[in-house]
């Protein structure tokens, strides 16, 4: 069976134990969390040290893994064997495991991890038949918000929508940073059961980036004085001008794409979502679209190309280049 990690995490306590688990994908947080969750379920009390073996695929041959997996547990119901990075194994190494996968030990939980694995290979299909393949892919848009909200709910707390939006906007889909910031927020709030925007601004390790988003908001809304104020503050806080420029470009790129889709007949909401706007920001984004025509956005992109080259090799200071750009947008 193959399932996505969020579904696995939600259903794991109800799933039947499997002799083989393969966590596969680019989201290392899910892989690490999943391995830890399965390992703790199968290892028992005082005998756990006798029944746990962990390896990196680059350091062990597949035949040795099979030997260990076929060893009976000591004074316990299960042995746990973990092999990380099996995408490093060549086809010949994987073939040595195929016989085991056809008849896995009923007393061993074999946990495998891989960043990339060709699911068309015989090895992959055998893992899927013998056990469970868990796809660990990065989260985007609404799925990311749901994941953050669920993490906070699991801690017995809730979070205001604007605070949730700020976490997702500033940190993005860096689940490791989000996880650590959620832990800090829970501790910071103490007996309070609701996380506010003020809590996020005071605790999150990524809040330096708030100024960048304030710059973007002021530019899009044509608030020139505010844009200059937030630009100076962001740079004073250590934000590179090129990074600020990147976020401005990203916003205008989404706006132009949405305009083109709307001309093709899509609604403002559908166009915004297809352009990459998170669901909770569609309303705000649609209002911003009214401030620019398609022709204005197309001309602006020509200007952004010039600004990009001037930022990377021009004579003017990068801050001055951005100031001139903001002024031209404001006119």
Q: What is the CATH number of the domain that holds 16?
A: 3.40.50.300
What average pLDDT does this structure show over 131-140? 89
Mean pLDDT (the chain, rounded): 86
Lowest mean pLDDT among 86-95, 154-163, 217-226, 281-290: 281-290
Tell me what pLDDT residue 156 has. 92
The reply to whether 76 and 31 lie within a common domain is yes
The reply to whether 97 and 111 lie within a common domain is yes
The reply to whether 29 and 68 lie within a common domain is yes
> Quick one: tokens of 91?
């086809």
82 phi/psi in degrees, rounded to 5: -115, 130
The reply to whether 10 and 125 lie within a common domain is yes
The reply to whether 244 and 325 lie within a common domain is yes
Strand locations in 17-88 (E) = 20-24, 52-56, 79-84
Q: What is the CA radius of gyration of the chain?
A: 25
Contacts of 287-294 with C-beta under 8 Å, sequence gap 24+, read 288/220, 288/221, 288/255, 289/255, 289/258, 289/259, 289/262, 291/220, 291/221, 291/222, 292/255, 292/259, 293/259, 294/256, 294/259, 294/260, 294/263
The reply to whether 69 and 147 lie within a common domain is no
pTM of the complete model beyond 0.75 = no
Residues 6+ apart with CB under 8 A from 115: 24, 25, 26, 85, 87
The reply to whether 257 and 181 lie within a common domain is no
What average pLDDT does this structure show over 267-271? 84
The reply to whether 146 and 62 lie within a common domain is no
Checking if the pLDDT of 199 tops 70, the result is yes
Count other C-beta atoms under 10 Å from residue 95's C-beta.
Answer: 13
Q: Answer yes or no: are the C-beta atoms of 296 and 306 closer than 8 Å.
A: no
Indicate the burial class of 269 (C-beta count within 10 angstroms; 0-12, 13-18, 19 or more).
middle
Of 14, 55, 5, 3, which Cα lies nearest the Cα of 33? 5
Cα-Cα-Cα-Cα dihedral sign, residues 233, 237, 238, 243: negative
- List pLDDT tens digits, range 2-37: 889 988 988 888 888 889 999 999 899 999 999 999
The reply to whether 298 and 177 lie within a common domain is no
The reply to whether 164 and 189 lie within a common domain is yes
CATH label of the domain that carries residue 321: 1.20.272.10
Share of the chain above pLDDT 90, in %: 24
Checking if the pLDDT of 208 tops 60, the result is no
Q: Which strand (E) or helix (H) includes residue 133?
A: strand 132-135
Checking if the pLDDT of 273 tops 90, the result is no
Q: Answer yes or no: are the C-beta atoms of 9 and 29 closer than 8 Å.
A: no
| Cα distance between residue 17 and residue 24, in whole Å | 19
Containing structural domain, residue 232: 209-330
Checking if the pLDDT of 280 tops 70, the result is no
What average pLDDT does this structure show over 60-72? 90
Checking if the pLDDT of 326 tops 60, the result is yes
Q: How many domains does the chain have?
A: 3
pLDDT band at 279 (very low <50, low <70, confident <90, very high): low
The reply to whether 31 and 65 lie within a common domain is yes
pLDDT band at 294 (very low <50, low <70, confident <90, very high): confident
- For the chain, count helices (H), then strands (E): 16, 8
Residues 6+ apart with CB under 8 A from 121: 91, 94
Sheet holding 108-114, edge to edge: 2-4, 132-135, 20-24, 108-114, 79-84, 52-56
The helix/strand/coil state of 181 is helix
CATH label of the domain that carries residue 180: 1.10.8.60
Q: Answer yes or no: are the C-beta atoms of 58 and 88 closer than 8 Å.
A: yes
The helix/strand/coil state of 79 is strand
pLDDT band at 205 (very low <50, low <70, confident <90, very high): low
């Amino acid at each position: 069976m193959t399932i996505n990690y969020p579904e696995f995490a939600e259903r794991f306590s109800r799933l039947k134990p499997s002799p083989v688990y393969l966590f596969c994908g680019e989201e290392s947080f899910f892989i690490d969390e999943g391995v830890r969750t399965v390992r703790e379920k199968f290892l028992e009390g005082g005998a756990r040290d006798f029944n746990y073996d962990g390896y990196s695929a680059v350091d062990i041959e597949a035949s040795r893994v099979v030997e260990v997996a076929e060893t009976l547990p000591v004074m316990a119901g299960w042995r746990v064997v973990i092999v990380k990075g099996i995408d490093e194994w060549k086809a010949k190494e994987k073939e040595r495991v195929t016989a085991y996968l056809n008849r896995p030990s009923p007393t061993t939980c074999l946990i495998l991890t891989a960043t990339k694995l060709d699911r068309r290979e015989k090895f992959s299909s055998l893992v899927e038949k013998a056990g469970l393949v868990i796809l660990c892919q990065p989260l985007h848009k609404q799925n990311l918000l749901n994941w953050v909200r669920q993490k906070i709910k699991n801690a017995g707390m809730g979070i205001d929508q604007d605070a949730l939006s700020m976490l997702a906007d500033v940190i993005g889909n860096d689940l490791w940073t989000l996880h650590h910031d959620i832990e800090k927020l829970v501790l910071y709030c103490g007996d309070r059961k609701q996380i506010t925007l003020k809590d996020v601004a005071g605790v999150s390790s990524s809040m330096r980036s708030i100024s960048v988003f304030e710059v973007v908001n002021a530019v899009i809304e044509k608030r020139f004085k505010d844009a200059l104020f937030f630009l100076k503050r962001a740079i004073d806080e250590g934000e590179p001008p090129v990074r600020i420029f990147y976020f401005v470009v990203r916003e205008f790129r989404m706006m132009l794409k949405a305009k083109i889709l709307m001309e093709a007949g899509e609604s403002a909401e559908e166009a915004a979502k297809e352009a990459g706007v998170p669901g909770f920001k569609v309303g705000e984004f649609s209002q911003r679209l009214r401030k620019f025509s398609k022709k204005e956005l197309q001309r602006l992109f020509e200007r952004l190309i010039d600004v990009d080259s001037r930022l990377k090799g021009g004579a003017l200071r990068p801050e001055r280049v951005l100031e001139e750009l903001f002024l031209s947008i404001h006119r």
